[in-house]
Chain A
Amino acid sequence: MKKIEIITRPHKLDEVKDALTKLGIKGLSVSEIKGFGRQRGHKEVYRGAEYQVDFVPKVRIEVVVEDDLVRGVLEEVQKVARTGKVGDGKIFVSPIEEVVRIRTGETGDSAI
């Protein structure tokens, strides 16, 4: 099992969600986050004074999937979330040791 964290532009959330659903993924978590990458946010100007705003809004989508789904997820998400401009985001993949469904007590792949 792997956890996949997708950090992407807020307006890409729906497309990424649809792509993941099509792959058969049944659950995910979303949070609104702020951060910066190489582009370092943006500039704002008030009455002629410039301010650097470092943190730009992004969304973080977290899903846990079976190992054989990982490649498909990475490909599909890249396809829908890419605009080609700075600030498209990142995908992190990390191993998951165990999953427990609280309601039934199931563990492992069947609990995802």
Chain B
Amino acid sequence: MNMADNAFILVCAALVMFMTPGLAMFYAGLVRSKNVLGTIMQSFIMLGLVSVLWAVVGYSLAFGTDIGGVIGSLNFAFLNGVGMDTANSPADNLPHMTFMIFQCMFAVITPALITGAFAERMKFGSLMVFSTLWLILVYCPMAHWVWGGGWMGEMGALDFAGGAVVHMSSGAAALAGALCLGRRKGYGKEPILPHNLPMTILGAGILWFGWFGFNAGSALSADGLAANAFVTTQLAAAAAALSWIGVEWMHHGKPTTLGAASGVLAGLVAITPAAGFVGPMSAIVIGLASGVICYLGVLLKSKLGYDDSLDVVGIHGLGGTWGALATGLFASVGATGLFFGNAGQAWIQIISIVATWLFCFVMSYALFKIVDVLFGLRVSPEAEESGLDVSEHSETGYQL
């Protein structure tokens, strides 16, 4: 065990944990005031639900002994064999428990990301059922494929901190969710406006802060690689904030605060798979491109007519896809991509992108349909009109 590494990764795990309440704030500011608590709850409760699922069965499915490159065995179920020393630990410098809880925080935020797609209209109980099934049947296999000894990692696909596992998977599930739940009442007929943008900006700031744990921590040790990931994370986010407001300034005449916050998110998402594989200047290029790509991706929603309430597909889906592809183009640290003479890497990345989208979209779509048949996905029109805060939780966010 390396105690410096252990200290660093425990702090990183805490940073990543803070991203989920940060995401709750980010999302909550973007909905109408009658849904502020319902939206916060959809993210916040994942800290409860997923942490328990992860300890009971999820961690083992993702990081247990490989079965055919597809899934982990149940040898770590109930955290059996996950102890305070490095025995069995996938990172031999870290106590097994440290590695497990760091990974747990990634598992927590991923289903929370999806909730942005169907904000303001999904039943809370059905969300709990869907998220349970999704974690076990979609997230755990994805994590195993990429990081747990599964086929995607074996093939050589590069995903430093979760471009496929976290962002493309949640983006694909978000698209399935938006299609299965349908549009919000009044969508396209009346303006559905964010009720508290300062809350959203604060949430974006918390996400940015936590993302250092997400990306730098994915080095799994307190070394130069972690420093590289930290630097690329900062630069990509910064560049994407600039390019997003730049493109909207040209397109709509004004740079908006929501644009700056969305650009930061787009850059963070895009650099996630690449953070430890590219240099700082490549990170700036990846960030600049991601601001423009995700801005256009968000516009796509109104062209295609689905209601991805808070743009999970546009930002996490497209940003993650661009990041995964960019990793194959710009990799120069510990791996080489197309621009550094290795065209094969780009091809591997493309295969991993297609497989991730196909698997996650089809599985998520099926899970949404199953939950719909069993419990119904959507609240009643009256409940939707009065808002999820009162109808689902018997609370109101503001007493003004």
Residues of A within 8 A of B (CB): 44-53
Contact = CB atoms under 8 A, between A and B. Distances in A.
A50 B194 contact: no
B248 interface: yes
Contacts of A49: 298-299, 302
A47 B298 CA distance: 7
A44 B193 contact: yes
Contacts of A48: 248, 251-252, 295, 298-299
Interface string B296-334: 001100100000000100100000000000000000000
Query: Which of A44, A49, A50 is the most central at the interface, judged by chain B CB atoms within 10 Å of its CB?
Result: A49
B256 interface: yes
Contacts of B311: 47
Contacts, number: 32
Interface of B: 191, 193-194, 248, 251-252, 254, 256, 258-259, 262, 295, 298-299, 302, 311, 314
B262 A52 contact: no
A51 B191 CA distance: 6
B256 A50 contact: no
Contacts of B248: 45, 48
A46 B193 contact: yes
B256 to A, nearest CB: 6
B197 to A, nearest CB: 9
Contact of A51 (B193, B251, B254, B295): B193
A107 to B, nearest CB: 39
A95 B314 CA distance: 59
A52 to B, nearest CB: 7
A112 B258 CA distance: 51
Nearest to B301: A49
The majority secondary structure among interface residues of chain B is: helix
Contacts of A47: 258-259, 262, 295, 298, 311, 314
With a 10 A CB-CB cut-off, give which of A46, A49, A50, A52 has the most chain B CB atoms.
A46
A46 B258 contact: yes
A70 B340 CA distance: 82
Contacts of A52: 191
A45 B254 contact: yes
Nearest to A49: B302
Contacts of A44: 191, 193
Q: Which of A45, A47, A49 has the most CB of B within 10 A?
A: A47
B193 A50 contact: no
Enumerate the 9 nearest inter-chain pairs by beta-carbon distance, A residue then B residue, closest first. Answer: A51-B191, A47-B298, A45-B252, A48-B299, A46-B258, A47-B262, A48-B298, A48-B248, A49-B302
A85 to B, nearest CB: 19
A10 to B, nearest CB: 18
Contacts of B262: 47
Nearest to A43: B252
Contacts of B295: 47-48
A11 B346 CA distance: 59
Nearest to B294: A47
Contacts of A45: 248, 252, 254, 256
A53 B194 CA distance: 13
B295 to A, nearest CB: 6
Contacts of B299: 48-49
A104 to B, nearest CB: 37
Nearest to A50: B252
B256 A46 contact: yes
A51 B186 CA distance: 13
B26 to A, nearest CB: 13
A46 B252 contact: no
5 contacts: A46-B258, A47-B311, A48-B298, A48-B299, A51-B191
Nearest to B310: A47
Nearest to B190: A51
Nearest to A45: B252
